[in-house]
Amino acid sequence: MVSLASPEAAVASAALVCSGIRMSFGGVPVLRGVDLRLLPGTVTALAGENGAGKSTLMKIASGQYRPDEGTVLIHGDELSAGSIRAAGSLGVAIVPQELASIPELTVYENLFVGRELRTPLRTLDRRAMAREARERLGAFGIDIDPSRRMGGLPVGVRQIIEIVKATSRGARVLLLDEPTSAIPQREVALLAEVVRSLRDQGVAILFTTHKMEEIRAMADRVVVLRDGSLVADAAIADITDDGIVAAMIGRELDTLFPDLPSAGTAETLSVHDLVISAGSAPISFTVRRGEILGLAGLVGAGRTELIECIYGLRVPERGTVTVNGRVLRRGAPQASIRSNVAIVPEDRKGAGAVLSLSVLDNATLPRVAAFSRSGILRGAPRRAAIDAVMRSIHLKSDGLGQRMENLSGGNQQKVVLGRWLTGAVDVLLLDEPTRGVDVGARSEIYRIITDLAAAGMAVVMASSDMPEILSLSHRALVLRDRTVVAEIRRPELSDPGVQDTIFRFASGQDAPSDRRATTEETAR
């Protein structure tokens, strides 16, 4: 174990202390005697692979779970096990990965829900709540109309509003579970500023993330869980990225991104004059066998919509999609499946998998017809084919009968991707392929993607993770306002300033003449 604290820090008054925390579910140990100390005015990153016990530890510290063994102290006072109310009264707040905001209410209504301000006549004092909401948000650099509906705001801004709500209620210990998993880089930078501001006010902050750059940007120290045990606890200056990764996965990770295979010359996918929605410019591009085409852009740029139009989940205004010379019928996913087009959607839990079903049943879904005879599933061939594929992608599970909801995020994603591989695939559409996936599983998924490209698949990959775009793409298209505004080829993707270039195109900071020239080059 990497040691962390100096003698001075060890005797300092801690904001939160977890001692000997043990927890099991169904007889399976999830936490194995974990000790954790958070000091006031510090930011601690909690790292670990999916399934390491991070969320469970946070839920115990916030009073949601009652541990089998161990105690939690908040500023010296013992937390009543399994009491959310007690944790709140002691100054602990948690902002979960799945936001608890109420999208139908306004910003100020969300900030004051449960403790509304009232006039002397006991009616809601909406003007006072809106005024105070604006002041509190302004203190963190958030300049928005507090009367706006919460559901109409970007996810990153909603995340910060939830943090402001928690701290405005007196929270001195703030737990953030995957706060950046669904927000773009620009909003991550804003979140980092908010976190640093709270740290400077003396708040103790614990956050989880799978991204090394975010640990470096926000954390003063890092603790690592592996298989329910705390295996590293270090000041951020005293541990390398490789050291963090090695602690997480229990082995050295040679390289996160594998070498790109050479792309072929045969055109597999052709998109011609595709108009995603009324008012957007037409999009044209081709993808060759063995080529990985990255789609970059800010939230709302149209990356997901483009992938859905190609696959047939969304009907474009006009345009054609051709696979191996055959024009696909618009808005017809079954036609795409028959043409060997596969998709891994952005929303793994909502659109990619049925969490209540087993691995076997989930892996059967896109190819039910292939495994059926006269409407009856053929058990043995189905199991044999799916078992072979899941072994080939190194799925970690208790078997094909395990329910999807009990798999880690990385293994869920492997099933959603691998289930297509029981048949032929010529075009693979990936939308945020590693969102919510830990670094060990990311490395494995990257190798699967490059292996599939090496086998001849044409891959289109939308990602808000810039290192994925830069390291996994033979070419990258930058989208804005549901059209392509730039194309960046492999040599330029390695340039030091390319991230800034991509952001300028994505945010509209490039000159109009540059946009036209780049788009025309892409179409050619």
Which pair of tokens denotes residue 194? 């908010």
Nearest-5° angle of CA 451, CA 477, CA 312? 75
Gap between the Cα atoms of 324 and 338, Å rounded:
12
Q: How confident is the model at residue 523 (pLDDT cuts 50, 70, 90)?
A: very low
The bridge status of strand 427-431 relative to strand 341-344 is parallel
251 pLDDT band, cuts 50/70/90, is low
6: number of Cβ within 10 Å: 10
pLDDT(516) > 50:
no
**pLDDT at position 98 over 70:** no
pLDDT at 186: 67
Same domain, 44 and 126: yes
User: What CATH number corresponds to the domain at position 330?
Assistant: 3.40.50.300
| Residue 262 phi, psi (nearest 5) | -75, 135
Distance of alpha carbon 329 from alpha carbon 322, whole angstroms: 9
Predicted local distance difference test score (pLDDT) of residue 159:
79
**Tokens matching residue 405:** 């909801």
- Sort strands 267-275 and 229-235 into parallel, antiparallel or unpaired: unpaired
User: Per-residue pLDDT for 454 more than 70?
Assistant: yes
- The model's pTM is 0.65
Measure the CA–CA gap between 458 and 425, rounded to whole angstroms.
Answer: 9
- 454 domain residue, yes or no: yes
Pair (108, 232) in one structural domain: yes
| Phi, psi for 428 (deg, rounded to 5) | -115, 120
CA–CA separation, 387 and 359 (whole Å):
10
In the structure, what pLDDT confidence band is assigned to residue 263 with cuts at 50, 70 and 90?
very high
Q: Are residues 98 and 240 in the same domain?
A: yes
Nearest to 4 by CA among 211, 210, 227, 247: 247
Residues 288 and 334 in one domain: yes
Q: Where are the alpha helices (DSSP H) in 212-345?
A: 212-218, 241-249, 303-311, 333-338
Are residues 290 and 398 located together in one domain of the fold? no
Q: What is the mean pLDDT of the chain?
A: 87
- Look at residues 192, 219, 249 and tell me which one is the last residue of a structural domain: 249
* Residue 141 predicted with pLDDT over 60: yes
List the beta bridge partners of residue 208.
46
Domain-embedded: residue 295:
yes
Q: Is residue 470 part of a domain?
A: yes
- Greater confidence (409 vs 203) lies with 203
What's the average model confidence in pLDDT over 459-486?
93
Query: What burial letters (b/e) apply to 231-241, b meaning 16+ CB within 10 Å?
Result: bbbbbbeebee
Judge whether 375 lies within some domain.
yes
> Does residue 38 form part of some domain?
yes
Report which of 349, 331, 295 is spatially closest to residue 505, judged by C-alpha positions.
295
Question: Are residue 62 and residue 166 in the same domain, yes or no?
Answer: yes
Distance, in Å, from the CA atom of 340 to the CA atom of 425, rounded to the nearest integer, reads: 5
Assess contact for 410 and 50: CB atoms under 8 A. yes
**Whole-number percent of the chain with pLDDT over 70:** 92
> Which secondary-structure segment (H or E) carries 7?
helix 7-11
Q: Is residue 46 part of a domain?
A: yes
- Least confidently predicted of 9-13, 103-107, 223-227, 320-324: 9-13
E-strand ranges in 5-80 read 16-25, 28-38, 43-47, 69-74, 77-78
Among 368, 393, 415, where does a domain finish? 415
Q: What is the pLDDT of residues 220-238, one digit of tens each?
A: 999 999 889 999 999 999 9
Domain boundary at 187, 221, 249, which?
249
Domain of residue 112: give its range: 7-249
Question: Comparing 5-14, 115-124, 154-163, 284-293, which segment has the lowest mean pLDDT?
Answer: 5-14
Whether residues 149 and 276 fall in one domain: no
> 280 and 227 share a domain?
no
> What is the structure's pLDDT at 183?
64
Q: d(Cα 115, Cα 108) in Å, to the nearest integer?
A: 11
Position 377 confidence tier, pLDDT thresholds 50, 70, 90: confident
How far is residue 179's CA from residue 196's CA, in Å, rounded to a whole number? 14
- CA 190, CA 187: separation in Å to the nearest integer? 5
Distance from first CA to last CA of the chain, Å, rounded? 56
Residue 517 has pLDDT above 60, yes or no: no
Is 44 a member of any domain?
yes
User: Which tokens hold the place of 440?
Assistant: 């060990």
| Paired residues of 5 in beta bridges | none
**Residue 393 placed within a domain:** yes
**CA–CA distance, 310 with 343 (Å, rounded to integer):** 10
Contact yes or no for 178/170 (Cβ under 8 A):
no
What the block records as the tokens of 357 is: 């079903």
- The owner of tokens 């006991």 is 122
CA dihedral 462, 159, 206, 436 (to 10 degrees): -20
Strand partners, 269: 287, 323
Q: What is the pLDDT of residue 520?
A: 37
Residue 67 half-sphere exposure, CB side, CA atoms within 13 Å? Answer: 29
> Are residues 366 and 241 part of one domain?
no
Of 38 and 83, which is predicted with more confidence? 38
Same-domain status, 91 and 181: yes
Is 10 a residue whose pLDDT tops 60?
no
Q: Give the per-residue pLDDT at 374.
A: 79
Task: State whether 405 and 378 are in the same domain.
Answer: yes
Domain match, 406 and 428 both: no
H or E stretch including 340? none
Quote the tokens at residue 353: 């998998």
Number of domains in the chain: 3
**Gap between the Cα atoms of 276 and 465, Å rounded:** 23
Instruction: Indicate if the pLDDT at residue 268 is higher than 60.
Output: yes
Q: Comparing 271 with 158, which gets the higher pLDDT? A: 271
